[in-house]
Amino acid sequence: MTARPPIAMLAELTHRCPLSCPYCSNPLELARIDQEIDTETWKSVFRQAADLGVLQLHLSGGEPASRRDLVELVQAARDAGLYINLITSGIGLSERRLNELDAAGLDHIQLSLQGTDAEMADQIGGYKGGFKRKMQVAEWIKAIGFPLTLNAVLHRRNLHQLPRAIEMALEMGARRIEVATVQFHGWALKNRDTLMPTREQAREADTIVIEARARLRGKLVIDYVPADYHSDYPKRCMGGWGTTGLNVTPEGKVLPCHAAETIPHLVFDNVKETPLHKIWYEGSAFQAYRGTDWMQDPCKSCERKTVDFGGCRCQAMAIVGDANAVDPVCIKSPHHGALQVQADAHACAEGQDLIYRSAPGKPVPETVE
């Protein structure tokens, strides 16, 4: 398949993060600060991305505000002509720093929401005082006038807060809310027994989103990632492998999706050694599942094969142990029935504690000025 240029690039500036969300999709083995690529390399990556055709740059992490050079990086991305979105928990952002980011050319902020009150949010984020600080940051974002998307990750513990999350998006002046049911990659796999929504919760969330979309048309856009373990067809992961986007890790590895390193036979190029253009068009990891040539049945002969591209390769790897297999969420997968039983079992598990990357209740750190 001849690849088209990517539209979006996710730059994972760092894996450092003040929160410890139990559904973190970052790899189990996090990049250390001394492994992170430096400011000049990121600037070069941004220029290369723009030359390659990337339009949108998503600055992510970990917590991207943990990088002291964040303002300089935003300025460089602006100079390269990219539209820049900052994906943040808000922790580590002061009013002064937000004004500097505004002056440097930041276009948009995506603020994560772990819960709609301090009790829930601080427990899920593993960070005492985090909710209060996030609400303060939301006020500064509104006052400066950044276009805002609220990103609410939902699971069994907080799905009942969905209506309030939608109200909060309106109160914050957000133009969009992303309602994302937790996806089980990375650390999240350890917490399936605690976080898996029940089938009833998943259906209720569907209903709430349908009603809110109709009621708020023209006021608030609602993006929705449903609970796919309870679905009959898989999501079109990453818009199709090697089709629309690429991820760069804190160490400079270029991945077709954030969880691609869980597929053991793939080899990833690094921006420190290989130009981004060459990685996108010729890199073996990008070629591996681009298009439909790699497919076997049932996907190969399926009428939906260019709709969902066989679903998520990383989910096939995690659950079936074979990244070439049809996503087990799909009703045509021989593993679909077992997955549904497994999802219900996770959803019914009781008395489990959340497993954090590090001890919850860390004190609120100083903001980076």
List residues binding ligand SF4 (CB under 6 A).
233-234, 298-299, 302, 304-305, 308, 310-311, 326-327, 330, 332
Stretch that binds ligand FES, among 10-18, 109-117, 205-213, 308-316 (CB under 6 A): 308-316
**Stretch binding ligand FES (CB under 6 A), from 85-93, 269-277, 311-319, 360-368:** 311-319
Per-residue string for binding with ligand FES, 235-254, x by CB under 6 A?
--xx--x-------------
Report the alpha-carbon distance of residue 335 to residue 325 in Å, rounded.
10
343-350 long-range Cβ contacts below 8 angstroms, 24+ apart: 343/196, 343/199, 343/229, 343/230, 344/198, 344/199, 346/192, 346/193, 346/196, 346/229, 347/156, 347/196, 347/197, 347/198, 347/199, 347/201, 348/198, 349/193, 349/194, 349/196
User: Cα(145)–Cα(154) distance, rounded to whole angstroms?
Assistant: 27
- Burial class of residue 330 (count of CB atoms within 10 Å of its CB; 0-12, 13-18, 19+): buried
Sequence-distant (≥ 6) Cβ neighbours of residue 196 within 8 angstroms: 155, 156, 184, 229, 343, 346, 347, 349
CB 237 within 8 A of CB 222: no
On whether 237 is known to bind a ligand per the annotation, the reply is: no
43 or 313, CB closer to ligand FES? 313
Q: Annotation-wise, does 299 bind a ligand?
A: no
Dig out the tokens for 237 from the structure. Answer: 């992961």
Query: Which amino acid would we find at residue 166?
Result: I
Among all residues, whose Cβ is closest to ligand SF4? 302
Residue 330 binding result from ligand SF4, ligand FES, none, given CB thresholds of 5 to 8 Å by partner type: ligand SF4
Does the protein bind ligand FES through residue 260 (CB under 6 A)?
yes
Q: Which is nearer to ligand FES, 246 or 257 (CB)?
A: 257
CB of 210 to ligand SF4, least distance (A): 23
What is residue 270's DSSP assignment?
Answer: B
Residue 286 vs 309, nearer CB to ligand SF4: 309
Residues 6 or more apart in contact with residue 270 via CB below 8 angstroms: 251, 252, 253, 254
* 257 lies in the site for ligand FES, by CB under 6 A: yes
Instruction: Rule CB under 6 A: say whether 17 interacts with ligand FES.
Output: no
CA 214 to chain centre: 26
Among 120, 159, 314, 339, binds ligand FES (CB under 6 A): 314
The site partner of 237 among ligand FES, ligand SF4, none (C-beta below 5 to 8 Å per kind) is ligand FES
> What letter would DSSP give residue 23?
T
Cβ distance to ligand SF4 smaller for residue 39 or 292? 292
Q: Is 314 annotated as a binding residue?
A: no
Query: Min. distance of Cβ 313 from ligand FES in angstroms?
Result: 4
List the structure tokens of 230: 């309870």
Catalog residues that contact ligand FES under the rule CB under 6 A: 185, 237-238, 241, 257, 259-260, 312-314
Indicate the annotated binding residues. 17, 21, 24
Indicate the annotated binding residues for [4Fe-4S] cluster. 17, 21, 24
